[in-house]
Amino acid sequence: MHPITLRALEAFPLQLEAHYAAIPAGFEHWAPPSWDGVPSEAFTAIEQVCHVRDIEIEGYQVRIHRTLNENHPVLASIDSEALALERSYGSADVALAFAAFRTARAQTVALIGSLASAQFERTAVFEGYGPLSLRSLLHYLCSHDQQHLAGLQWLLGKIDASRVKTQN
């Protein structure tokens, strides 16, 4: 595993919390009139945090374990919008969501750090992505993290733009 990817995965929980903290008070549940151009899923700030937590635990951790323990498994994609509705992300306690995510990511990073080089070459098929190695899967996880930082920045841009008064 490339050290930059491992460092990025390790640093992400603090980055996510810092980006979330930049959301102005009262805008945690705010949604723009249009989600056109959003670089992540179309989720409010609090929903972004809950999504990242659940994808870590029920998505990537499961996919990593299956890739390590099964012969070329098919890894399911998760319907994020359905999960958000089912779990009422909008009414979640963000402190609990962050705590659960920090714990889960620490477990993921510890597991990755314990693997032998050959284990990163284990293969699977990821719905929507196709055949991959465990190394590929971890790069996709890192990319997913970055998409959600970008999603929070995009929301900040939309929030700020919503405050601009139009001039004639």
DSSP secondary structure string for all residues of 108-124:
HHHHHHH--GGGGG-EE
Supply 91's token pair. 């009414």
Give the list of residues 6+ apart from residue 148 with CB closer than 8 angstroms, or none.
16, 40, 48, 51, 52
Look up the domain containing 140 and give its range: 3-162
Number of structural domains in the chain: 1
Q: What is the pLDDT along the chain (168 residues), one digit of tens a residue?
A: 889 999 999 999 999 999 999 999 999 999 999 999 999 999 999 999 999 999 999 999 999 999 999 999 999 999 999 999 999 999 999 999 999 999 999 999 999 999 999 999 999 999 999 999 999 999 999 999 999 999 999 999 999 999 897 665
Domain-embedded: residue 167? no
Domain-embedded: residue 78? yes
pTM: 0.94
C-alpha–C-alpha distance, residues 69 and 66, integer Å:
5
Residue 44 sits in a domain whose CATH number is 1.20.120.450
Domain-embedded: residue 123? yes
Domain-embedded: residue 168? no
Q: Supply the pLDDT for residue 2.
A: 87
Supply 161's token pair. 């733009």
Domain-embedded: residue 26? yes
What distances in angstroms separate CA 8 from CA 4, 5, 25, one per listed residue?
6, 5, 28
Domain-embedded: residue 119? yes
